[in-house]
Amino acid sequence: MNRRKLLRLTGMSLAFGVTGCLGTDPPQATESDQSENGDSDLSGNAEATQTPEPDHSIQIKNEISDPVNVTATVVRETTGETVHNQTYSLQPDETITAYNTRQANPDGVEEFDVSVTANGSSDSFIMETDMCQGDITAQVTEFDGIDWGWAEC
């Protein structure tokens, strides 16, 4: 493993650990999670995973030293509908916003399968339209192909 990759992985691990992004999925709400007065006894994170937030951007960043053509495809999981499919030409160190899930008018919390292809590499990420999910960035890299960056609670 080269030094640059090791430093990147260490930095991401520390960042995720500090922000609480490592660990198991939060529990799902049940009727027993409601107190007698109707308030939720869920933790802030569990409640955030159930609170709709349609506004999530999908960015693509070219981290290699040459221009690259990148195709971004976004599919609504519940219907299988392709809501976005476009190819972009990115210059070195260029970042673009390819799509925002609010454009699909999500109905509550929905999942979208985001796929990115560049230089023969392809990878996908399931994005949820809830308060816990942050924006995502697909990073086109020379050594790893497609890397994903995101934040969640």
Residue 118, beta-bridge partner list: 70, 121
Nearest CA to 63 out of 140, 148, 121, 144 is that of 140
Q: Is residue 59 part of a domain?
A: yes
Query: Half-sphere exposure of 147 toward its Cβ, with a 13 Å CA cutoff?
Result: 15
pLDDT in tens, 21-79: 544 344 344 444 444 555 555 677 899 999 999 999 999 999 999 999 999 999 999 99
Res. 9 pLDDT band, cuts 50 70 90: low
pLDDT at site 23: 43
Question: Which residue is listed with tokens 């497609």?
Answer: 146
Contacting residues for 115 by C-beta, under 8 A, at least 6 apart: 72, 73, 74, 75, 122, 123, 124
CATH number reported for the structural domain that contains residue 82 in this entry:
2.60.40
Question: Which residue is listed with tokens 């995973």?
Answer: 49
Number of domains in the chain: 1
**Has residue 110 got a pLDDT over 80?**
yes
User: What domain range includes position 151?
Assistant: 52-153
**Has residue 81 got a pLDDT over 60?**
yes
pLDDT at site 43: 73
DSSP SS3 for 109: coil
Q: Is residue 44 part of a domain?
A: no
- Helix locations, the chain, DSSP H: 3-19, 44-48
pTM of the model: 0.73
Query: Half-sphere exposure of 50 toward its Cβ, with a 13 Å CA cutoff?
Result: 11
Question: Which residue is listed with tokens 């560049």?
Answer: 118
Q: Is residue 71 part of a domain?
A: yes
Q: Is residue 36 part of a domain?
A: no
